[in-house]
Amino acid sequence: MAIEFTYSEEQLMIRDMVRDFVTNEVKPRAEEIERTDAIPKELLGKAAELGLFGLAFPEEYGGAGAGKVGYCLMLEELARGSGAVATTIGAHQSIGAQSIFLDGTEDQKKRYLPALCRGEQLAAYCLTEPASGSDAAGLQTTADPDGDSYVLNGEKIWVTNGGIAEVYIVFALTDKALRAHGGVTAFIVEGSFPGLKRGKPERKMGLHGSSTTAVSLENVRVPKSNVLGEIGKGFITAMRALDVGRLSLGAGCCGAAKEMIDVSIKYAQERRAFGGPIAEKEAIQFMLAEMAADIYVMESIVYRTAWAYDAGQKISREAAIVKFVCSEAGERVVDKALQIHGGMGYSAELPVERYYRDARVNRIFEGTNEIQRLIVATDLLKKGRY
């Protein structure tokens, strides 16, 4: 048994509950999710019954009040079973609903969060555009005031939950000259608002089952009561939500890596070569040891950062570190898992190759790892010290 942080009884109950759900409900459906490129509605319904869609948020908005430590424990367990399920619930909660929780008015929180927390509605976060990914401040979607509404026009791409969400957090220019420095505003856009169109599912290398589409906005009339946060402060909302997204991405990497080391230990003890189990070979042992070391680092920084967030500390720099360290460590772990499995690791008969493909996107979304390094370096240079 590896050493553990001291979690509260409630946090351990959450972990065990999600672990059971993943063992009994998610893992048996993971191959079906991969093959059909969709998560069965009924499986998401069961996750909703367990309260997984709003776990991190306070009870007054329909959540479970588990904070980010509890939330990371949940995402870790989900990612042990399915990257698609973890990403669907993760994007919904860590960046979609999170944006409303962070900067919504009391009225907006009461109007939207309960249904989002109950999983009756799914949220999506729409920042990326065809001409602005890393350079998110270069977005071109516009929002023009007209009476008691804003009229939105533009194209968002790579939207997780894009094809299945009911609530879209859309970042748009309300002042073209100011851009990210006071010109971007966030909006809560309902999927039923006329003019919002969901694109076709992207054909991706991995994360099959996680809906990723473009979302186009053609003269979408959004009531002023759905402006999220202050006019011109939308870029700040976007970045604050991404702090949580990056942290929880680290938790997901950690969960997938734990699954990979467990299946690798088992395989190494069963698979025989040259007269004995391959686990007896030092080369295999070294790989297992390095996997454990990577996991220990991931777990340590994820929960330390989640704890700091729950304690009210600002985590932007640390969340960026969690994001790039965990996505790279997670990739190393799954690569070694595949190597330990030899030819079978490359076969679609075993889940290892799926985890390998799923892991790759973690270095890209929620801001590429190059951008995370820039965030950390910029902060260091601004402060002039660690």
The Cα 257–Cα 238 span in angstroms is: 28
Which residue from 187, 235, 303, 365 is in contact with ligand FAD, where contact means CB under 6 A?
365
Query: In sequence order, what E strands does the chain have?
Result: 123-126, 142-146, 149-160, 167-173, 184-190, 196-198, 212-223, 227-228, 272-273, 276-277
79 interacts with ligand FAD by CB under 6 A? no
Q: At a CB cut-off of 8 Å and minimum separation 6, what does 208 contact? A: 33, 34, 35, 37, 84
**Strand 123-126 and strand 167-173: pairing?**
parallel
242 interacts with ligand FAD by CB under 6 A? no
Q: 148-167: which residues touch ligand FAD (CB under 6 A)?
A: 158-160
Which residue from 265, 292, 364, 376 is in contact with ligand FAD, where contact means CB under 6 A?
364
* Of 4, 331, 366, 370, catalytic: 366
Q: 306-335: which residues touch ligand FAD (CB under 6 A)?
A: none
Residue nearest to ligand FAD (CB): 133
Which residue from 56, 126, 139, 338 is in contact with ligand FAD, where contact means CB under 6 A?
126
Please give the distance of CA 227 from its chain centroid, rounded to a whole number.
Answer: 24
- Looking at the Cβ atoms of 13 and 102, the one nearer to ligand FAD is 102
- Looking at the Cβ atoms of 174 and 212, the one nearer to ligand FAD is 212
Are the CB atoms for 221 and 262 separated by under 8 Å?
no
Which residue from 253, 256, 215 is spatially nearest to 128, judged by alpha carbons?
215
Which residue from 127, 143, 257, 329 is in contact with ligand FAD, where contact means CB under 6 A?
127
- Looking at the Cβ atoms of 127 and 337, the one nearer to ligand FAD is 127
Active-site residue, 34 included: no
- Looking at the Cβ atoms of 196 and 295, the one nearer to ligand FAD is 196
Q: 178-237: which residues touch ligand FAD (CB under 6 A)?
A: 204, 207, 212
Greatest pairwise CA separation for the chain in angstroms: 80
Burial 65-91 (b: 16+ CB within 10 A, else e): ebbbbbbbbbbbbbbbbbbbbbbbbbb
Burial status of residue 13 (CB atoms within 10 A of its CB: 0-12, 13-18, 19 or more): middle
In order, the DSSP letters of 294-361 are HHHHHHHHHHHHHHHHHTT---HHHHHHHHHHHHHHHHHHHHHHHHHTHHHHHSTTSTHHHHHHHHHG
Q: 81-110: which residues touch ligand FAD (CB under 6 A)?
A: 91
Q: Cβ of residue 6: shortest distance to ligand FAD, in angstroms?
A: 34
- Looking at the Cβ atoms of 154 and 345, the one nearer to ligand FAD is 154
Which residue from 181, 370, 377, 380 is in contact with ligand FAD, where contact means CB under 6 A?
370
- Looking at the Cβ atoms of 90 and 104, the one nearer to ligand FAD is 90
Q: Cβ of residue 370: shortest distance to ligand FAD, in angstroms?
A: 3
Which residue from 51, 54, 90, 133 is in contact with ligand FAD, where contact means CB under 6 A?
133
Question: Total residues contacting ligand FAD (rule CB under 6 A)?
Answer: 22
Q: How many C-beta atoms surround the C-beta of residue 135 within 10 A? A: 11
Instruction: Tell me the residue type at 34.
Output: E
Q: Which residues would be at the binding site for ligand FAD (CB under 6 A)?
A: 91, 125-128, 133-134, 158-160, 204, 207, 212, 361, 364-368, 370-371, 374
Catalytic residue positions, numbered: 366
